[in-house]
Copies of this chain bind each other. A is one copy, B any other.
Amino acid sequence: MNIYDISKQSGVSIATVSRVINNSGYVAEKTRKKVMEVIEKNSYSPNAFARGMSTSSMKTVGILTTNIRDLYQAQCVYYLEQDLKKHGYTAMLCCTGDEQAAKKEHVELLASRSVDALIFIGSHFVEKSEKDNGYIYAASNHIPVFLLNGCLSHSNIYSILCDDEKGCYELTKCALDHGAKSPYFLATRDTFSVQRKWKGFKKSCKEHDIEIDDSRFRLLEDGFEQLGSQVFSILQDTDIDAAICVDDEIASIVEKVADYCKRKVPRDLQITGYNDSIFAKLAHPAISSFDNRTAYMCSQAIYGLVQVLEGKEFPEETMYTGKVVLRHSTND
């Protein structure tokens, strides 16, 4: 069943059928009705490839995530997909992992599928070395690129991000305001947003006249067991009294290890997470965290995407604020 069949059965040309399908151009109400009837009777739906070939678009956008099993990234995918389909777009998902080569390959894979736009989730894609971002720049020459929680200055790249520097500054301030003297900063990766959080951490320490150096930045190996043993070492070997973690999952593990080491949270050790996820709520005591408004970020991205694809203006960079959510892992 194709447009010719519909055309025959309804006694009009395929051009007219096309017009009623796409709601474009003029077509007499009577004609439209007749054609619609035939279409519905046959439950005809136009061939996506042919359509794509004519219009060079299948209303598809590529979403890139390094790891969909990460709750935060899954959250983003969820909101993005919600908004995307509201606008008739469909999402192609790629989970790239952390290796540079794989990331590049996936971008090419999506490009070969002629997606209308590319959305990169998380700061995991923005590398310190400009050369390593080359494949993102290259992609942006053909299709609009949206960066969540990251920032790259280039035409046709649009960055939307929460002010994580401020976020981490405020969380650190909570701990320091309530007596912490020896805070540590814990991360499992050194990404763009981690760097911004680290900056906020340092700023807050400075304001509290706490001398710190780079040894306060603990880059830990990922994985449940590995994290546990590394955190254990830190608890043994340092005078840590506040763990400022870049996400709630790490914070949960710190709390679990603290419990194991008989350190009372928050009395002996204050802990903060990030993202305000279920991990922060489930932990015992519940963990103070930062709500970085994922839903808002995603809806902004899709709004921008639609604007750009319609040829309208959209700012290259959008930075917005989140909010601290106090719980019982910091002193009150």
Q: Which residues of A are in contact with B by a Cβ distance under 8 Å?
A: 45-50, 52-53, 56, 58, 60, 63, 67-69, 71, 74-75, 77-78, 81-82, 85, 90-95, 106, 108-114, 224, 249, 252-253, 256, 259, 278-279, 281-284
Q: Is the CB of B58 within 8 A of A77?
A: no
Q: Which residues of B contact A90 (CB under 8 A)?
A: 92, 94, 109-110, 113
Question: Dominant SS at the A interface?
Answer: helix
Q: With A and B bound together, what is the CA distance between A202 and B28 in angstroms? A: 65
Q: Is the CB of B259 within 8 A of A278?
A: no
Q: Which residues of B contact A49 (CB under 8 A)?
A: 49-50, 52-53, 56, 58, 114
Q: Is the CB of A281 within 8 A of B224?
A: yes
Q: Is the CB of A68 within 8 A of B60?
A: no
Q: Is the CB of B113 within 8 A of A47?
A: no
What are 7 A-B pairs at a CB distance below 8 A? A45-B111, A47-B114, A50-B53, A69-B74, A81-B93, A85-B106, A224-B281
Q: With A and B bound together, what is the CA distance between A106 and B84 in angstroms? A: 13
Q: With A and B bound together, what is the CA distance between A114 and B49 in angstroms? A: 8
Kindly name the residue among A78, A109, A110 whose own CB sees the greatest number of chain B CB atoms within 10 A: A78
Q: With A and B bound together, what is the CA distance between A50 and B58 in angstroms? A: 12
Contact of A78 among B45, B56, B68, B281 (CB under 8 A): B68
Q: Is the CB of B278 within 8 A of A249?
A: yes
Q: Is the CB of B71 within 8 A of A71?
A: yes
Closest to A74 in B: B74
The 9 closest A-B pairs by CB, nearest first: A49-B52, A49-B53, A93-B93, A74-B74, A48-B114, A68-B78, A81-B95, A45-B112, A69-B78
Q: Which residues of B contact A68 (CB under 8 A)?
A: 68, 74, 77-78, 81
Chain B nearest Cβ from A63, distance in angstroms: 8
Q: Which residues of B contact A82 (CB under 8 A)?
A: 95
Q: Which residues of B contact A46 (CB under 8 A)?
A: 112
Closest to A75 in B: B69
Given contacts A90-B110, A252-B282, A256-B284, 9 further A-B pairs with CB under 8 A are A47-B53, A48-B52, A58-B113, A68-B74, A91-B93, A93-B93, A224-B278, A256-B282, A282-B282
